């Protein structure tokens, strides 16, 4: 099911259903006490339907849930296409991972029914809806039967109605990093009800660590490095820089291909190998870039990694990642690689990768960022993403070369 169809259904059908559920909850609530979180909950569900990068940003939230409720089973509901990442990062036990197949409307509806029945049979104590203003996730939180329902509220924002049945709601704050807001959802679990407007939430800093890791042995990494050098001999004598030039499902996120070509040309000329990474769908873009670059040290690695785990091993074997906003920039935070990531339609202040090994590249023009929870991530630039086009390639190349030179000096000093 394409994203425009999903938005249409969510907006029109979702609002009607949310209104009906809200009326029902309001009526039945006249005869029942407000839901409270038990002192020792047994089952908590986290609904996380967003892109794969959001799974990494939710890492501190999952760590806090485990610390706060060590006896509870943490269940995760996500899209089927994203489950590989959750398994790799060990967000929870595999038997507690549940999926929805959104490849078609019929498969999605069938999975919603199946998951709702399963969650009711488990007997959830609480559900956390991590989606900002999605109606389908709000309705899912109700259909699971969890008495405590935590999620974001738009407060008085017009046009984002999704009912009033999230009974432990917190205001969405467009000025705070999303990982910090995910932690606020955990704080809301044991709040008396929805957080009062006149009471501040817990004082938290933006997390500095994802609290996620993927373990590799030295033998495993060495074997992969040997395979890479065998398949692409140019990497034997050159340090490898990875470049992800694709825009994913939101092409407005992509820095211009011509700018990437200029940077890759400069890196190859300076003695580095550059690997163009991405899915098979990015192969056409990679071929075009190779043609523009015209250097043997620029290699096409689109489709080379067969899993996220292999992508992480490739990052271990590389010195730098230059990328558009997207999953690779977040996956990089669980590896030692330094990352340079472009933001424009969205902002690194809200969605930037966690940690200290990331350089955020933004132009800061007046209309940026333009994709928000309030406009359902529909930009008004009609594909003319000046926020990224105005980030010139030469300063980016200089910054990349400066880092690579500094890291080489550091490595040489450590081994001297």
Per-residue model confidence as pLDDT tens digits over 251-266? 899 999 999 999 999 9
Q: Is the pLDDT of residue 85 over 90?
A: yes
Q: Is the pLDDT of residue 331 over 80?
A: yes
- Judged by average pLDDT, the poorest of 40-44, 89-93, 101-105, 137-141 is 101-105
How many contiguous H segments (helices) and E segments (strands) does the chain have? 15, 12
Q: What pLDDT, on the 0 to 100 scale, is given for residue 416? A: 44
Between the CA of residue 207 and those of 39, 176, 178, what are the distances in Å?
Answer: 26, 11, 10
pLDDT tens-digit readout, 307-319: 999 999 999 999 9
Q: If you write DSSP's letter for every residue of 198-223 in order, what string do you get?
A: TS-----PPPS---------HHHHHH
Q: Which of 109, 97, 101 is nearest to 45 (CA)?
A: 97
Domains of the chain: 3-189 (3.40.50.2000), 218-415 (3.40.50.2000)
CA atoms of 340 and 350, how far apart (whole Å)? 16
Give CA 172 to chain center in angstroms: 17
Helix (H) or strand (E) segment spanning residue 105: helix 105-122
- Judged by average pLDDT, the poorest of 9-13, 229-233, 318-322 is 9-13
Q: Are 387 and 365 in contact (CB under 8 A)?
A: yes
CA atoms of 412 and 416, how far apart (whole Å)? 6
The model's confidence at residue 411, banded by pLDDT at 50, 70 and 90, is low
Please report the sign of the dihedral spanned by the C-alpha atoms of residue 257, residue 260, residue 266, residue 268.
Answer: negative
| Mean pLDDT (the chain, rounded) | 92
pLDDT tens-digit readout, 116-167: 999 999 999 999 999 998 999 999 999 999 999 999 988 777 778 889 999 9
Q: Which residue has the higher pLDDT, 220 or 279?
A: 220
Burial of 14 (0-12, 13-18, 19+ CB in 10 A): buried
CA atoms of 325 and 350, how far apart (whole Å)? 12
**Residue listed under structure tokens 């990497």:** 235
pTM: 0.93
Task: Considering only CA atoms, give the Rg of the chain.
Answer: 23
Size of the chain in residues: 416
Q: Is the pLDDT of residue 366 over 80?
A: yes
The model's confidence at residue 200, banded by pLDDT at 50, 70 and 90, is low
Highest mean predicted confidence (pLDDT) among 341-355, 375-389, 398-412? 341-355
Q: Could you give the percent of the chain with pLDDT greater than 90?
A: 78
Q: Which residue has the higher pLDDT, 32 or 337?
A: 337
Q: Which residue has the higher pLDDT, 199 or 31?
A: 31
- Judged by average pLDDT, the poorest of 158-162, 170-174, 333-337, 397-401 is 158-162
CA atoms of 211 and 64, how far apart (whole Å)? 10
**Residue listed under structure tokens 């690579």:** 404
Q: CB count, 10 Å around CB of 368?
A: 20
CA atoms of 253 and 32, how far apart (whole Å)? 48
Q: Is the pLDDT of residue 409 over 80?
A: no
Task: For Cα atoms 103, 60, 84, give the angle at the middle one, nearest 5 degrees.
Answer: 30
273 φ, ψ to 5°?
-95, 145
Q: What pLDDT, on the 0 to 100 scale, is given for residue 201? A: 67
Residue 373, CB-side half-sphere exposure with 13 Å CA sphere? 24
Between the CA of residue 337 and those of 54, 204, 210, 258, what are the distances in Å?
Answer: 19, 27, 15, 25
Q: What pLDDT, on the 0 to 100 scale, is given for residue 197? A: 53
Highest mean predicted confidence (pLDDT) among 186-195, 281-290, 375-384, 400-409? 281-290
Q: Are 182 and 199 in contact (CB under 8 A)?
A: no
Q: Are 281 and 253 in contact (CB under 8 A)?
A: no
pLDDT tens-digit readout, 30-62: 888 888 999 999 999 999 998 889 999 999 999
Q: What pLDDT, on the 0 to 100 scale, is given for residue 114? A: 97
Q: Which of 361, 407, 56 is nearest to 240 (CA)?
A: 407
Q: What pLDDT, on the 0 to 100 scale, is given for residue 196? A: 57
The model's confidence at residue 415, banded by pLDDT at 50, 70 and 90, is very low
């Amino acid at each position: 099911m394409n994203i425009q169809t999903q938005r249409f259904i969510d907006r029109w059908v979702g609002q009607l259903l949310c209104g009906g559920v809200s009326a029902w909850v309001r009526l039945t609530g006249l005869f029942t006490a407000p839901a409270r979180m038990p002192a020792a909950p047994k089952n908590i569900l986290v609904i996380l339907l967003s892109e794969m990068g959001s799974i990494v940003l939710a890492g501190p939230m999952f760590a806090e849930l485990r610390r706060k409720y060590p006896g509870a089973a943490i269940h995760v509901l996500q899209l089927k296409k994203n489950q590989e990442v959750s398994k790799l990062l060990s967000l929870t036990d595999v038997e507690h991972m549940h999926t929805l197949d959104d490849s078609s409307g019929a498969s999605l509806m069938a999975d919603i029914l199946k998951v709702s029945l399963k969650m009711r049979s488990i007997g959830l104590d609480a559900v956390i809806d991590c989606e900002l203003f999605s109606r389908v996730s709000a309705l899912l939180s109700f259909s699971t039967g969890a008495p405590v329902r935590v999620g974001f509220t738009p407060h008085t924002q017009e046009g984002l109605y999704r009912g009033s049945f999230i009974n432990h709601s917190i205001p969405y704050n467009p000025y705070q990093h999303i990982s910090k807001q995910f932690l606020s959802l955990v704080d809301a679990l044991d709040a008396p009800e929805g957080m009062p407007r006149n009471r501040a939430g817990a004082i938290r800093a933006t997390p500095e660590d994802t609290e996620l890791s993927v373990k590799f042995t030295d033998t495993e990494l060495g074997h992969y490095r040997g395979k890479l050098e065998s398949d692409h001999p140019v990497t034997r004598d050159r340090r490898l820089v990875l470049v992800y030039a694709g825009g994913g499902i939101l092409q407005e996120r992509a820095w211009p291909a011509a700018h990437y070509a200029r940077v890759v040309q400069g890196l190859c000329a300076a003695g580095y190998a550059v690997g163009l990474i991405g899915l098979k769908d990015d192969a056409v873009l990679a071929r075009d870039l190779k043609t523009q670059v015209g250097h043997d040290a620029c290699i096409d690695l689109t489709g080379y990694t067969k899993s996220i785990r292999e992508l992480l091993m490739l990052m271990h074997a590389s010195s730098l990642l230059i990328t558009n906003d997207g999953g690779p920039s977040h996956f990089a935070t669980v590896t030692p690689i330094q990352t340079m990531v472009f933001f424009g339609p969205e902002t690194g202040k809200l969605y930037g990768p966690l940690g200290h090994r990331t350089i955020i590249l933004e132009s800061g023009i007046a209309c940026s960022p333009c994709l928000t929870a309030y406009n359902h991530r529909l930009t008004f630039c009609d594909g003319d993403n000046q926020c990224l086009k105005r980030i010139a390639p030469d300063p980016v190349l200089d910054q990349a070369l400066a880092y690579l030179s500094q890291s080489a000096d550091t490595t040489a000093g450590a081994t001297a």
